[in-house]
A and B are shown apart, each in its own frame.
Chain A
Amino acid sequence: DAGVIQSPRHEVTEMGQEVTLRCKPISGHDYLFWYRQTMMRGLELLIYFNNNVPIDDSGMPEDRFSAKMPNASFSTLKIQPSEPRDSAVYFCASSLGTGVYGNTIYFGEGSWLTVV
C-alpha cells in the first residue's frame, strides 16, 4: 500500500518565482496536514484539511502561502512569490481520524525547497 506521496522531492528556484508542492494522501484518509521543517523552528503545522475542507490555516506564514485540496486524493501548497526564507523541508501528512488517540499521522518523504 503506497504511503503519502509528495512531489517534487527537491526544488531549487529563484526568489520571486512561484513554487507548487504536491501531495497525494493515503487512500481513505480524511485528514491532510502540511508541515514545514526548519532548523530554527522544527516542525510547524501550516494548515490541515478534513474531508477536503481547510479547517485551520493559522500556521500559514503569510499571504504568499496558499493551499488547496480539490479532491480527496490531491493537495497543493503554493508559494507566490517565493523568498529565500521559505527554504525548508515541506511535509505532507495524512491520517484517518484526528491523528491522535490511536490514529497515526503518516508523513510523506518531504519536499526539499531551496530559494536562491
Chain B
Amino acid sequence: DQQVKQNSPSLSVQEGRISILNCDYTNSMFDYFLWYKKYPAEGPTFLISISSIKDKNEDGRFTVFLNKSAKHLSLHIVPSQPGDSAVYFCAASGGGGADGLTFGKGTHLIIQP
C-alpha cells in the first residue's frame, strides 16, 4: 500500500524546457514533503522541501508546489539542464516525530539535448 505515489516511472524533457514531476499522497497526517535526487551508483541527495503550512517553495531553478486539498505536490525545474537527468524521489513525513521518510518509487527524468 503505497502512501506516496509517483505514477510516472520516467519523463523525457528537452533541455531548456520545464520539467514537472508529480507526486500524490494518501496519508493526511503527512505534514512535510521533500524531494530527493539520485544519480546512478550514488545515494539520494536532498533537493528541496516544503512544509504543509506553505503552498510553494522556491530554490533557484527548483520550485515545489503543494496542494493539500488534492494531496498532491509537484516539482518544477526550469530551465531543465542535462545535469538534471536523474531519478527524483518524492518523500513525506508526518506526526512531528522521527518516523523517517516515506518515499515514492521515483521518476527517472531524462533531459534531452
Binding site for B on A (CB under 8 A): 4, 31, 33, 35, 41-45, 48, 50, 55-56, 91, 93, 97-102, 104-110
In the complex, are the beta carbons of A42 and B41 less than 8 A apart? Answer: no
Binding site for A on B (CB under 8 A): 2, 6, 32, 34, 36, 41-46, 49, 51, 89, 91, 93, 97-106
In the complex, are the beta carbons of A98 and B97 less than 8 A apart? Answer: yes
Are A41 and B105 CB-contacts (below 8 A) given A100-B34, A104-B46, A109-B41? yes
In the complex, are the beta carbons of B45 and A100 less than 8 A apart? Answer: no
How many A-B Cβ pairs are below 8 Å?
65
Q: How far is the CA of A109 from the CA of B41 in the complex (A)?
A: 7
Q: How far is the CA of A34 from the CA of B102 in the complex (A)?
A: 12
Residues of chain B within 8 A of A4, CB atoms compared? 43
**Pick from B89, B101, B104: contact of A99, CB under 8 Å:** B101
* A35-B103, A45-B103 given; 19 more Cβ-contact pairs under 8 Å: A33-B100, A42-B106, A43-B44, A43-B91, A43-B105, A43-B106, A44-B103, A45-B101, A48-B100, A50-B98, A91-B44, A100-B34, A100-B101, A105-B101, A107-B36, A107-B44, A109-B42, A109-B43, A110-B43
Q: How far is the CA of A31 from the CA of B32 in the complex (A)?
A: 18
In the complex, are the beta carbons of B41 and A43 less than 8 A apart? Answer: no
Q: How far is the CA of A106 from the CA of B32 in the complex (A)?
A: 17
Q: How far is the CA of A104 from the CA of B44 in the complex (A)?
A: 11
Q: How far is the CA of A45 from the CA of B98 in the complex (A)?
A: 12
In the complex, are the beta carbons of B44 and A99 less than 8 A apart? Answer: no
The 3 tightest CB contacts between A and B, nearest first, are A107-B43, A42-B105, A43-B103
Are A55 and B98 CB-contacts (below 8 A) given A107-B43, A109-B42? yes
Q: How far is the CA of A48 from the CA of B97 in the complex (A)?
A: 12
> How far, in Å, is B53 (CB) from chain A's closest CB?
11
**Pick from A33, A56, A101, A107: contact of B45, CB under 8 Å:** A107
Residues of chain A within 8 A of B97, CB atoms compared? 98
Chain B, residue nearest A31 (CB): B98
Q: Which of A31, A43, A97 has the most CB of B within 10 A?
A: A43
Are A101 and B32 CB-contacts (below 8 A) given A42-B89, A48-B100? yes
